[in-house]
């Protein structure tokens, strides 16, 4: 057998689709190449994919037309997201999590400094003087947080 066989996961990556269910839909719409569970004939699938999805060959089959439109919309959505990421108008959740973790770390660090910084500043002070000192230290920490987040 001279044909190249691929797994379902490999085929999903090659065709740049999001799920196995898409392959199942295409298989039901007439896509050849299914050999057995988790095995596909790459040439047969690519020939069908090229003719029916990429080139948009006229077909009377509404299921194939529907699949072609769904695939094209998925590709357009993916490209739009990638453009937004490149323009930095869209960032990943991982990046947001990293940035927030860094900000929280900054606050925790500032709060930990209080234990060594405040006792000598507060020693022998009246309650109102202590409030003023703590307010000033909180303002310093808030300004530090704002400056580091900019």
Condensed to tens digits (0 to 9), the pLDDT of residues 104-122 reads 998 899 899 999 999 999 9
Query: Which DSSP string do the residues of 39-67 spell out, in sequence order?
Result: EEEHHHHHHHHIIIIIS----S-HHHHHH
| Model pTM above 0.75 | no
Backbone angles phi, psi at 145, to 5 degrees: -60, -45
pLDDT in tens, 36-49: 999 999 889 888 88
Judge whether residue 1 has pLDDT over 50: no
- DSSP E strands in the chain: the ranges are 5-6, 34-36, 39-41
34 pairs with which residues across the strands? 40
């Amino acid at each position: 057998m001279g044909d190249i066989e691929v797994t379902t996961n490999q085929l999903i990556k090659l065709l740049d689709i999001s799920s196995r269910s898409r392959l199942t839909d295409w298989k039901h719409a007439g896509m050849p190449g299914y050999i057995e569970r988790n095995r596909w004939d790459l040439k047969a699938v690519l020939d069908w994919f090229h003719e029916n999805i990429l080139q948009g060959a006229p077909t009377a089959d509404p299921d194939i037309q529907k699949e072609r439109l769904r695939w094209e919309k998925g590709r357009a959505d993916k490209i739009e997201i990638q453009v937004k990421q490149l323009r930095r108008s869209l960032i990943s959740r991982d990046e947001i999590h990293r940035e927030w973790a860094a900000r929280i770390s900054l606050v925790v660090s500032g709060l930990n400094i209080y234990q060594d910084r405040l006792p000598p500043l507060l020693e022998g002070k009246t309650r109102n003087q202590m409030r003023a000192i703590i307010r000033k230290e909180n303002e310093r920490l808030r300004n530090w947080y704002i400056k580091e987040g900019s």
